[in-house]
Chain A
Amino acid sequence: GEDVEQSLFLSVREGDSSVINCTYTDSSSTYLYWYKQEPGAGLQLLTYIFSNMDMKQDQRLTVLLNKKDKHLSLRIADTQTGDSAIYFCADGTGRRALTFGSGTRLQVQP
């Protein structure tokens, strides 16, 4: 079946860039998403990229997609303490469900 993998934890200093990585297995993926979850909260859609794109930039967020390697990354420029949260990569395959990774906990140190 489909699988989405993420590293569990990332720690950065305030002002640095953060890069969160994700790999997926389904080659028929059409959209790939990044969601943010703060403690005790639901999921906030940050951005998404269509599978025929290599890169998408949205203010401080840059998404890179390497479809050959099935690798997705989210770069957050000038990381702030308010960016501390769990980040989920999700794979939409043209079917009905999103497949989520286990999440990467981003800790931003002042």
Chain B
Amino acid sequence: ETGVTQSPTHLIKTRGQQVTLRCSSQSGHNTVSWYQQALGQGPQFIFQYYREEENGRGNFPPRFSGLQFPNYSSELNVNALELDDSALYLCASSPTRKRGSDTEAFFGQGTRLTVV
């Protein structure tokens, strides 16, 4: 158990729809990152939030957006869903850190999104 919980666990959406995925970070962790893991691949970094501000972004289009709340929970929003967005979406939280430094990242169980 990492203390990082994600909801829902599974989701089926139609192409063109919008989806919101949720993550509850481990207590005391103020940094949250989101990753996309396509079938048979390693996770790919989407973006990171630190103290409610976006703190870095991977190679994903603007229709992928996020929020972090004062209690450090987080949302990933994806607009105009495409078939290729079908993947496991993973949230990872990290403990209090200096901006830009490494530390452990603890992952949730993920949300499996299927776009049909």
Residues of A within 8 A of B (CB): 4, 30-31, 33, 35, 41-45, 48, 88, 90, 92-103
Interface size band for B: 20 to 34
Q: Report the nearest B residue to A1, measured CB to CB.
A: B59
Interface Cβ pair total, 8 Å cutoff: 67
Chain B residues near A43: list those with CB within 8 A. 43, 90, 92, 107
Residue from the set B6, B42, B43, B45 with the largest chain A CB neighbour count within 10 Å = B42
Chain A residues near B107: list those with CB within 8 A. 35, 42-45
Chain B residues near A35: list those with CB within 8 A. 107
Q: Is the CB of B42 within 8 A of A100?
A: yes
Q: Report the nearest A residue to B110, measured CB to CB.
A: A42
Q: Is the CB of A45 within 8 A of B100?
A: no
Residue from A41, A48, A95 within 8 A of B100 (CB atoms) = A95
